[in-house]
Structure 1
């Protein structure tokens, strides 16, 4: 397989060399150097990859403290979640029913997903929207990216571009549940036409909709830039310290009816505490109108713990550090280091664009737990003795070559070939006090092919095929899963673009082998548990339309209709394995609709009414009624007014957001599991189930004021 990949890569490269000799430089498109940062992981408007773009102006309209997933809530096929209920703290995003571990996230082309869990923890990116220039969401396998492979979607962020002029900005917002966001941004502007220094400091606090589910985020973003006509060098660092009160336990159905804002946790320091700092260096170089390169380096340091009170514990569960039936307070730590090297070469002329690159990252982590208090400690035991300790190392190397080229007039081809090679090793004792030793290696070949036919200036059609492979994560290995999962994705689309109407419509068929679907259950730290479902598929239709009726009125509407099935699914029910046939894949609603109605009575005033409908979904894979989440329809109202005074301030922006205008009591997420009752009736096994729910906030508001100097 490796030889095949190298042969195909060399074939694509040979095409580029021949094309280079035939084309004139003076007809070449010149790419902005800033965009080279994400060129390797993004696609263009006419690419046969289904995608959506969000620019800075759109992001800032609702950037009043909520996390990035919530700001992307109205994109096609997107469903968002919030543990604390108000969109701040632990939030998540699902795309086409795939969970956050399947959404590949990059920042300036640098992988952000945690390599071990493959998840994305937005709580560690407090107010990052204030330092984001643009976002592209690719649905399906998408194009080759860095880090954990995209297995349903990829989300790449470009941070702030350099500012030509000196500026300063103060932004403050306040709202329900004692929510506050305070942001200060500054830029020196270009000094001597070559240098710029900029920065941001933010503080976000919220008590949360759920009782005591507070969030305390402190974040920063600092950047230094050197540029000339052909060179752009960026050195940046950003980081965040978060402290949140636990709210991942959810509520039972009875608790939800009794008081949907209650929190079952009672220990006053049941908190999550984590520090994460990122350091990036990017060097973009344009040699001429055809050739440019990018070199990216990254180091990320993360360290933190969550603290938990446990009552009446067994000594055996804590390495005999306590006596039986002792109350205990523990801290469970994660201490990790993440290094990344990206290198890309871009060649382009009138008829060809070629991007070739490689990415290497290495991740090391220590997992350990310590007892910080016990009502009855064992003899010779000290506070902070560790009751488990283990380490892990993961290395990830990928090489790719992707080309977009004209075949004949109006017909464009796309070829993307990637080889990815992963090794993962663990050693030590896990939190369940069992030995956890893993030594696994994976080699993947991920091809992607597509065609785009532009029949006119307004109409284009595309078809693509992509294959992705993905290794199990840490929890999968602990559960005994050792095989990779494979996804084949076929996309067929039509795009229409005119001055007033833009429509994107696509059909997709994603079929899997060994898909790791969410079981609905949670582990002992609140992370979703996955299990192999064998064969499964997702079949859907997505429509995304933007229509300008006049200068004052416009609308953005998207509809996603899908069928998501496990095939020949078997489960243990009432003491025996049963073939349930085709069942619904967990957390995969069949209908998702987003809509925004915008009214601009003047150039400086915009009012938007936003609506989101998410159809019913199952939290498990056995189609039990007790595992079903009801559909919900939620509406928000957003207002932005900009004043441009002649003195002191460049602009004054007043923003307002009313979430859940009609006070809908809804649940967007939960968990579900089963257990066998073998004691009620001797000799009989009865499968029982349980469920938990995460209530979302009723009507709430945020008000913001931004002063730009």
Structure 2
């Protein structure tokens, strides 16, 4: 409890009455224009839009960028909760915004959709160290603006990759830390050749044993960019991707194991012929993903500019499992007789493969003249995926042959959208915002888990808002947005899911001055047929969801950027919300029960965050970062067995810059101590129920259970970056 109390006391000590939205002054005012931002201009917003948002720049990311994933680096933004399977920020990581999980956060990279088309999830592990090639990102909470890819049901995250550099440079970075974590990367740029062409790139390698037993990560990634610009044209060609091999840690542990052995990992466990407990040494996820983007911006006239992007993503890899005493029938094996005994079960090692392609185009045209800012855009994207399984070893192989596939199915998804959005300045104080999107989605699948699927969805998503600039310091906005969204692949496992609909109302006030930027907003998100997390996982660790009819999220968000003199900066935020299913029905002990209003799973009512940044001298920065996440339920029936306790986390971050003369420009030393107070906390878990009809014949008893993902205690990362 002491770390929790300290975090809350520190938060209110520094922030009483001064809570607001974190923004760079220039970006909030919309006065700073970076040429590369034209590629995301159709998706990003400034204070002239009625959208709740936060920006995070390369300079803000850099001191903590020592190998951890982007979701971990976003942990201290408003309404954000992050988690990591391996417990220390390397490997599989996840993010929730306003209680909505990663499948409901629309992610684009340079305006190109990144969410997996089928699962709708975002797997940052496939692009290790991507933060090192990120210029900036913007997190829009709520529906946000019309964007490409899956509809935003909790937030939109727009990532802009590295801008071009006028000067040539080289950079070598190394970081080491707890759990044998090691990150090395190399970056370079030719600078602008003939003031028109630049080539830049990055190579990265990250290894970590993880906090959880055997939860090791072996990660490689690359980023290569060619840029061309003249007075009216900007073209970029990008190749980037990664290869991840991670030992699985998604099984979690029960409450008793959490008390006795919190790093225990049941993944890969089996019993050998002598009755000894063993662990399969290759229970890994092995996946490669490569991306190609061609981005073209053209300034046609003083009023008109256009953006065109062509993209292609290639993904392939497998998840390997040791299965003990598995049924022959699962693999199409015929029973065999050994020493006069019929054998119908065997120990096997299997690989479950994904092999997919995602390609398409996104485009927009922007017209700006006097009072009107108009954008017309859209996208057409196609996904084609193969799912198949192979047995690579079996104690009794029966009638199988090498490379036989015990299942083999395919899926396809086509996503097309068109949108028009405009901001019209009525006068010096009032402006209107309108945004209309039409989106059609076709999805086909034929897996044993999904059944035969051939669905088409047509969505109309209007948005409208009004902005009032009281003066140069105060800005108010009110907006209403509609979002519709199709089910994902896993939703079809439990039946015939319905598409979801969201009505999002946002009311906000922004204040900005030289020393204080402040934002507060109230939101009301009303859902019909929301696909909420049930708390359960499927057989590969993916969360399951179900339609719940009527539900809502009502909340208040306040955050700030406060300068206290020239050396001290404080960035607090708080989110207070209530998240409810309206008329939840649950079958317990064989009887259908009407539970009425219940809490939506994984939706804490209180989230506090704070960053205190101190610069005693120009070369040294010291930051203390704290996070408090309130109690949340991992299911929707308000069961005490599903409670995930409140927790806090506090980090200490230092950066010292040594300026050099000559070939070496600078040496930057960084240190990060995570979880300074060694809190024994759990940031994620799962909850399940099942009917027991065997303990007492003739009766049905509902059994509840839960699993937990413990996070690392005090751990550290130390880094050095040499710039030349």
TM-score by length of 1: 0.94
- Aligned twin of 2:551: 536
- Aligned twin of 1:701: 716
| Pairs within 5 Å for 1:398-547 | 398-427=417-446, 429-430=447-448, 436-547=451-562
1:20-40 Cα deviation digits (max 9, x unpaired) = xxxxxxxx9996541110011
- Aligned twin of 1:46: 48
- Aligned twin of 1:120: 122
Query: C-alpha separation between the residues in 1 aligned to 2:31 and 2:669?
Result: 39
Q: Does 1:660 align with 2:675?
A: yes
- Aligned twin of 2:272: none
- Aligned twin of 1:349: 369
Q: CA deviation at 1:678?
A: 1.1
Name the SS for the 2:534 alignment partner.
strand
- C-alpha spacing 1:406/1:675, structure 2 compared with 1 (3 Å): same
- Aligned twin of 2:387: 367
Name the SS for the 1:408 alignment partner.
coil
CA contact (8 A) 1:204 1:216 kept: yes
Runs of 4+ in 1 over 3 A off after TM superposition: 28-33
CA contact (8 A) 1:117 1:473 kept: yes
- Aligned twin of 2:138: 136
Name the SS for the 1:388 alignment partner.
strand
Q: CA deviation at 1:223?
A: 0.5
- Aligned twin of 1:107: 109
Q: CA deviation at 1:436?
A: 2.3
1:347-368 Cα deviation digits (max 9, x unpaired) = 1123111111110000000000
| Pairs within 5 Å for 1:36-75 | 36-75=38-77
Name the SS for the 1:254 alignment partner.
helix
Name the SS for the 1:57 alignment partner.
helix
Query: C-alpha separation between the residues in 2 aligned to 1:703 and 1:272?
Result: 28
- Specify which of 72, 77, 80 is matched with residue 79 of structure 2: 77
CA contact (8 A) 1:186 1:200 kept: yes
- Aligned twin of 1:635: 650
- Aligned twin of 1:293: 306
- Aligned twin of 2:6: none
- Aligned twin of 1:605: 620
Q: CA deviation at 1:321?
A: 6.2
- Aligned twin of 2:190: 188
Q: Which moved more, 1:646-655 or 1:209-218?
A: 646-655
CA contact (8 A) 2:497 2:546 kept: no
Query: C-alpha separation between the residues in 2 aligned to 1:526 and 1:324?
Result: 27
- Aligned twin of 1:236: 238
- Specify which of 253, 262, 266 is matched with residue 264 of structure 2: 262
Query: C-alpha separation between the residues in 1 aligned to 2:552 and 2:696?
Result: 39
CA contact (8 A) 2:415 2:439 kept: yes
CA contact (8 A) 1:345 1:355 kept: yes
CA contact (8 A) 2:457 2:486 kept: yes
Q: CA deviation at 1:257?
A: 0.9
1:129-177 Cα deviation digits (max 9, x unpaired) = 0000000000000000100010110001000011100000000000000
Query: C-alpha separation between the residues in 2 aligned to 1:558 and 1:489?
Result: 21
- Specify which of 292, 300, 315 is matched with residue 302 of structure 1: 315
| Pairs within 5 Å for 1:271-290 | 271-290=284-303
CA contact (8 A) 1:84 1:208 kept: yes
Query: C-alpha separation between the residues in 2 aligned to 1:569 and 1:305?
Result: 38
CA contact (8 A) 1:472 1:481 kept: no
Q: CA deviation at 1:46?
A: 2.7
Query: C-alpha separation between the residues in 2 aligned to 1:321 and 1:494?
Result: 69
CA contact (8 A) 1:33 1:284 kept: no
- Aligned twin of 2:413: 394
- Aligned twin of 1:683: 698
1:75-100 Cα deviation digits (max 9, x unpaired) = 00000010000011100000000011
Query: C-alpha separation between the residues in 2 aligned to 1:248 and 1:261?
Result: 12
CA contact (8 A) 2:561 2:571 kept: yes
- Aligned twin of 1:583: 598
CA contact (8 A) 1:636 1:658 kept: yes
CA contact (8 A) 1:305 1:331 kept: yes
Q: Does 1:384 align with 2:403?
A: yes
Q: CA deviation at 1:340?
A: 1.8
CA contact (8 A) 1:517 1:532 kept: yes
CA contact (8 A) 1:670 1:693 kept: yes
Q: CA deviation at 1:604?
A: 1.6
- Specify which of 206, 210, 213 is matched with residue 212 of structure 2: 210
Name the SS for the 1:308 alignment partner.
strand
- Aligned twin of 1:176: 178
TM-score by length of 2: 0.92
**Structure 1: gaps spanning 5 or more residues:** 1-27
- Aligned twin of 2:589: 574
CA contact (8 A) 2:254 2:707 kept: yes
CA contact (8 A) 2:533 2:546 kept: yes
Name the SS for the 1:567 alignment partner.
strand
CA contact (8 A) 2:289 2:314 kept: yes
Q: CA deviation at 1:685?
A: 1.2
CA contact (8 A) 2:498 2:547 kept: no
- C-alpha spacing 1:87/1:32, structure 2 compared with 1 (3 Å): closer
Query: C-alpha separation between the residues in 2 aligned to 1:698 and 1:154?
Result: 31
Query: C-alpha separation between the residues in 1 aligned to 2:493 and 2:624?
Result: 46
CA contact (8 A) 1:29 1:348 kept: no
- The Cα RMSD (Å) is 1.3
Query: C-alpha separation between the residues in 2 aligned to 1:32 and 1:539?
Result: 35
- Aligned twin of 1:149: 151
1:521-566 Cα deviation digits (max 9, x unpaired) = 0000000000111100000000011110111111000000000000
Q: CA deviation at 1:315?
A: 1.2
- Specify which of 161, 164, 169 is matched with residue 163 of structure 2: 161
- Aligned twin of 2:11: none
- Aligned twin of 2:21: none
1:582-624 Cα deviation digits (max 9, x unpaired) = 0000000000000011110011211000000000000000000
Name the SS for the 2:695 alignment partner.
coil
Q: CA deviation at 1:316?
A: 1.5
Q: CA deviation at 1:335?
A: 0.2
CA contact (8 A) 2:290 2:313 kept: yes
Name the SS for the 1:59 alignment partner.
helix
**Structure 2: gaps spanning 5 or more residues:** 1-29, 268-278, 336-342
CA contact (8 A) 1:373 1:383 kept: no
- Aligned twin of 1:595: 610
1:384-416 Cα deviation digits (max 9, x unpaired) = 211111000100000001101112330111101
Query: C-alpha separation between the residues in 2 aligned to 1:452 and 1:582?
Result: 34
Name the SS for the 2:487 alignment partner.
coil
Query: C-alpha separation between the residues in 2 aligned to 1:320 and 1:653?
Result: 60
Name the SS for the 1:684 alignment partner.
coil
